[in-house]
């Protein structure tokens, strides 16, 4: 969600404790605009927050003209001063998946190999030395995981050009009330997997300029999303039951939509195990 839309978006999307006091919300509104200017981003989105033992990371993402290009990710501990995170790598994501326990809230903190949840896994040992993982790397890897799994947009909100770049669809006027109830009306904003496996016949009714992503309707496990109308039926809200704390909102028949994550950075395995039993 962009700075100008932040107050309304937080009111629509954040039903839980975001840790954002009125002072922090005011600070965010001002600092995100400065962030956009200083880094010369095309736009800045407030992504949400990850709660740690000694502090909370507030996350922003900077984007360029091509919305599908890798995003710059930044964090703040006070909603005023921002630090740029390194790009997430495959190795970072694999290492972060081994860690257990809450974030510390200290970007300089280093996790020792003894603190990771792995059994005789030597892939990340170098020359017999114990592995250390910086919390900063764990943070960006977790953001990457969450974006891949549950970062979503409404259908037709973005367009893909013949050259492959992705831009906001200026003709998008929002989903209808009927469309807004369906998981098929929402797309994962990440590299598609299921779409590539569709037959030519299945793709015949798809518009390649707008239907270039995977929809939520075939997410595994099934039942990992809730869809509800709130605020007197004027706002549709999707919540992930796997990544608790991820909330997406959309006001049907308008351009208003966005998502925010506010949680501990862990997938809810109890829900995964429950879904896999059925």
Condensed to tens digits (0 to 9), the pLDDT of residues 57-91 reads 999 999 999 999 999 999 999 999 999 999 999 99
Name the E strands within the chain: 43-51, 56-63, 72-76, 83-84, 110-112, 132-134, 152-154, 158-160, 166-168, 186-188, 225-230, 235-240, 246-250, 257-263
Average pLDDT over residues 34-52: 94
Q: What whole-number percentage of the chain has pLDDT above 70?
A: 83
Report whether pLDDT(127) > 60. no
The pLDDT value recorded for residue 263 is 93
pLDDT tens-digit series, residues 142-159: 999 999 999 999 999 999
pLDDT of residue 100 exceeding 90: no
Outline where the chain has alpha helix (H): 6-13, 22-39, 90-98, 135-150, 177-180, 200-203, 269-276
Tell me the helix, strand and coil percentages in the chain, rounded to 5. Answer: 30, 25, 45
pLDDT of residue 120: 43
Highest mean pLDDT: which range of 12-26, 126-140, 181-195? 181-195
Task: Quick: pLDDT tens for 216-271.
Answer: 998 988 889 999 998 888 999 999 999 999 999 999 999 999 999 999 999 876 55
Residue 224 sits at φ, ψ, to 5 deg, of: -90, 5
- Could you tell me which residue, 119 or 105, shows the higher pLDDT? 105
Read off the pLDDT band of 275 (50, 70, 90): very low
Rounded to the nearest integer, the mean pLDDT of the chain is: 86
Give residue 277's pLDDT.
45
Checking if the pLDDT of 278 tops 60, the result is no
* pLDDT at residue 96 is higher than 80: yes
The more confidently predicted of residues 202 and 10 is: 10
Query: What's the CA gap between 112 and 99, in Å, rounded?
Result: 10
pLDDT in tens, 156-212: 999 999 999 999 999 999 999 999 999 999 999 998 887 766 666 566 678 889 999
User: What is the model's pLDDT at position 138?
Assistant: 96
pLDDT at 276: 46
Pairing of β 110-112 and β 158-160? unpaired
State the maximum Cα–Cα separation within the chain, in Å, rounded to a whole number: 61
CA distance 139 to 57: 9
Per-residue pLDDT tens for 248-258? 999 999 999 99
């Amino acid at each position: 969600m962009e700075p100008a839309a932040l107050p309304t978006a937080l009111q629509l999307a954040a039903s839980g404790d975001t840790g954002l006091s009125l002072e922090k919300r005011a600070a965010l509104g001002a600092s995100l605009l400065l962030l956009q200017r200083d880094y010369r981003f095309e736009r800045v989105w407030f992504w949400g927050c990850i709660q740690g033992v000694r502090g909370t990371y507030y996350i922003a993402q900077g984007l360029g003209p091509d919305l599908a290009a890798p995003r710059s990710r930044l964090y703040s501990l006070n909603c005023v001063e921002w630090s740029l995170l390194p790009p997430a790598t495959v190795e970072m994501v694999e290492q972060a998946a081994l860690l257990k326990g809450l974030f510390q809230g200290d970007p300089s903190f280093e996790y020792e190999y003894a603190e990771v949840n792995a059994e005789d896994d030597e892939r990340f040992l170098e020359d017999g030395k114990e592995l250390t993982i910086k919390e900063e790397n764990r943070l960006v890897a977790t953001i990457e995981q969450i974006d891949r799994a549950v970062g979503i947009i409404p259908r037709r909100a973005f367009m893909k050009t013949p050259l492959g770049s992705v831009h906001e669809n200026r003709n998008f006027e929002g989903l209808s009330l009927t469309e807004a109830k369906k998981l098929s009306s929402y797309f994962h904003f990440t590299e598609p997997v299921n779409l590539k496996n569709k037959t030519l016949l299945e793709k015949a009714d798809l518009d390649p300029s707008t239907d270039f992503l995977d929809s939520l309707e075939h997410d595994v496990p099934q039942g990992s999303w809730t869809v509800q109308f709130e605020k007197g039926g004027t706002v549709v809200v999707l919540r992930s039951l796997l990544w608790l704390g991820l909330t997406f909102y959309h006001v049907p028949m308008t351009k208003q939509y966005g998502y925010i994550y506010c949680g501990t950075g862990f997938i809810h395995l109890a829900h995964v195990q429950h879904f896999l039993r059925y």
